[in-house]
Structure 1
Amino acid sequence: MMVGRELKEQFPKEETSPGKPILKVQGLEIKGALHHVDLTLHEGEIVGIFGLLGAGCTTLIRALFGLEKINSGKIHINGRRVTISSPEKAIGLGLGYLTRDRKDGLINPMSVVSNITLASLKRISQLGLLKHRKEW
């Protein structure tokens, strides 16, 4: 009722069956932060992770993106067990990370184009040099 009316008629619930598991987390532990976290994300699902400040939501997502050291647990992507030790590895596995604060995801002295380009450096560079025509 946040919008002042019921939305059930406008957006009726559809019967669906879950797709195959695309991300499965089992027993994830980060010392002093997360204790035995289990999570399964199925194809076609949209999942929100929320909790009180300090509950570990951000830590969980940062861990899945390789920004926090995982002490134990298993991560499977598309049925294959993976180890995510860095953001580069996470990106290579098809994961992305949007920070809570938009400023955390930017390198401030760089232009907008340069910040956007960071995600595509391998495609638009050769021998460590940027191909500026491919930036645009």
Structure 2
Amino acid sequence: MHVTRSQIIQRGFTHRCPNCGGRTLFRAGTMFKVNRACTACGLPIERDEGSFLGSMALNYGVTVLVYLLPLVVLGATGVLSAKVALIAGLVGAFVFPALFYRSSRSWWIMCYYFFLPQHLPANRRAVRADEDENI
């Protein structure tokens, strides 16, 4: 394989294209606009309708586990007052997912190609070359 799984993970955590490694997942100067395809290699980023649902579920899960659950525990144990925990939870329920948006999109793409690395164009060329050598 031309692009290894460890490269896919590294690129996912740094918001890079899983195929070429370019910083092309998001439109320049925007926080929320995802490119339809990588501007460097042409890899479709928006695969089809509904492909964003996985990243949305990932964002929701991380928000609950990393942000809201600790607030509930701190509020229930008396470390934080109920009022402070409630206010922090309400504010964070909107702010944290917005700040985590880019990561959730990138991580979802990373997960897809981690399990299906042969779907990357760079790896398809490598697989075809190997098949041609074996003929």
Normalising by the residue count of structure 1, what TM-score does the alignment of the two structures yield?
0.21
The structure with the largest strand share of the pair is: 1
The structure with the largest helix share of the pair is: 2
* Higher RCO by CA contacts (8 Å cutoff, separation 6 or greater): 2
Normalising by the residue count of structure 2, what TM-score does the alignment of the two structures yield?
0.21
